[in-house]
Structure 1
């Protein structure tokens, strides 16, 4: 009886997820699922606590050791978790986020945050040393993927990028692609994948919760001299 109930509950969960994903795709198709519809207060409130917060700081620290940037821009920054450490250490930061609810829980002063829908072109005011886009691309409908990549490559010559692959569960995961998909997108913009840097980052990162960052990691650098 217990086994039967457990199987039934799992089937219900899978059916609910299937319906939810279908509704997301329909909503995205009509343009009614925007950044403010994906995550709520509870999500951002949780990100202010460890281990989420400490993991984000660890990522930033390791990135600094590798790139030593003087300026960093984060596309889809949420509450600015991956910018907090940089800001504390005197690095110029800019966070781009489409869901203004995130600003209520920001870990950096709101003056360093910009509201922007990543489906739209981003007006670059200056080049930064390092651009971040961490577990964001899977939430962007595929027809806007080129625009997202253009915003990143226009912003910095070094890009730290992670994206959920096919099969990774999560809220509003509507564009799950293999590595080769993103490699081609960045290659079209003149950026090459740097496996040596990725290897060093993976060796140095010690993450408690956000382990998928190591699994989904890309480092792209401009191939232009």
Structure 2
């Protein structure tokens, strides 16, 4: 692991923005569904969320009957906004060693690792794997974008931190939820279970399969958002972001043959709207002449 900045350093605001200052960790309908899948294979009675934000995962766990929950994060968000009691929250810097009062059944840390400077990642992963034998984990891929992202990186990169600690990857979310637009794309793209060796046989007996070498997959939602943000394809009236995302789901669903996905690129623009590129060129010549 490099001790310097990732080659995919993303920080649009010129400095580390506290994770808790973002709209993170909110309560969403997706989180109970994702946790319910974990619980169906691994009944857990205690959960700790590292980088908990507004404690959405912890409230989802409560909704599933889990009584012991604990959040760890920077202190910027009030406890009332988190919906946690004082004894259910500990203010920490996850780039530093964290002293834990106990070992939990499940640790959660989603879309947090990209906020941790590379020099602090060993401390961060030591905390996660020290906290529980099963970890629900996701982290931003390169160019995913976001406030305070100092180390967006590939799935293979994050996987190595777990592998060095003898935790095994269960890739049980991506294929199952890939086309489910009710779940944020970054969970469908980035979410994994990491399981300590002693817990792995139970997951395999329950029908899940270890993925010893998970690969990075770019979800079309992320791809299209970046395309429209960076390449301004919205200049073409038939290529709005909403239309492109809707077209992807139509193509991926059962009615794909009835609603073929619109093509992309200059050739498809010419077919659908002759003269569009020529008009663009004339406009640019007038603008800069």
TM-score normalised by structure 1 residue count: 0.73
Conserved in 1, the CA contact under 8 Å of 2:174 and 2:189?
A: no
Cα 1:161/1:205, change in 2 over 3 Å:
farther
1:120 is displaced (CA, Å) by: 1.1
Q: 1:72 and 2:54 equivalent?
A: no
Q: Measure how far apart 1:64 and its partner are.
A: 2.4
> Residue 81 of structure 1 is aligned with which of 32, 35, 56?
56
What secondary structure, in the 3-state scheme, does the structure 2 residue paired with 1:101 have?
A: coil
The equivalent position to 1:163 in structure 2, one of 127, 139, 164, is 139
CA distance in 1, matches of 2:153, 2:89: 28
Give the direction of change, closer, same or farther, for the CA distance of 1:53–1:90 in structure 2 (3 Å limit).
same
Aligned to 1:216: 190
CA distance in 1, matches of 2:109, 2:51: 6
SS in 1 for 2:56: coil
Distance 1:39 1:64, change over 3 A: same
Provide the aligned C-alpha RMSD in A.
2.8
The CA deviation at 1:185 is 0.8
2:14 paired with 1:23: yes
Kindly indicate whether structure 1 or structure 2 has the higher relative contact order, using CA contacts under 8 Å at least 6 residues apart: 1
Structure 2 distance, partners of 1:101, 1:125, is 22
User: For 1:43-122, what aligned pairs fall within 5 Å after superposition?
Assistant: 43=23, 53-88=28-63, 89-122=65-98
Q: Which runs of 4+ in 1 moved over 4 A?
A: 203-207
Max Rg structure = 2
Pairs aligned (count) = 190
Distance 2:181 2:86 in 1: 27
In structure 1, the residue matched to 2:109 is 133
- Partner Cα distance (2:141, 2:10) in 1: 20
**CA distance in 1 between partners of 2:196 and 2:11 (Å):** 38
Say which SS state the counterpart of residue 192 (structure 2) adopts: strand
CA drift at 1:193: 1.2
What SS does structure 1 have at the residue aligned with 2:109? strand
Is 1:151–2:142 an aligned residue pair?
A: no
Q: Identify the residue that residue 222 of structure 2 maps to in structure 1.
A: none
* Deviation string, structure 1 residues 87-126 (Cα, Å, up to 9, x no partner): 2424311111113325341133343111111111111221
> Which consecutive unaligned segments of at least 5 residues does structure 1 have?
1-17, 25-32
Work out whether residues 62 and 204 of structure 1, in 8 Å CA contact, stay in contact via their aligned partners in 2.
Answer: no
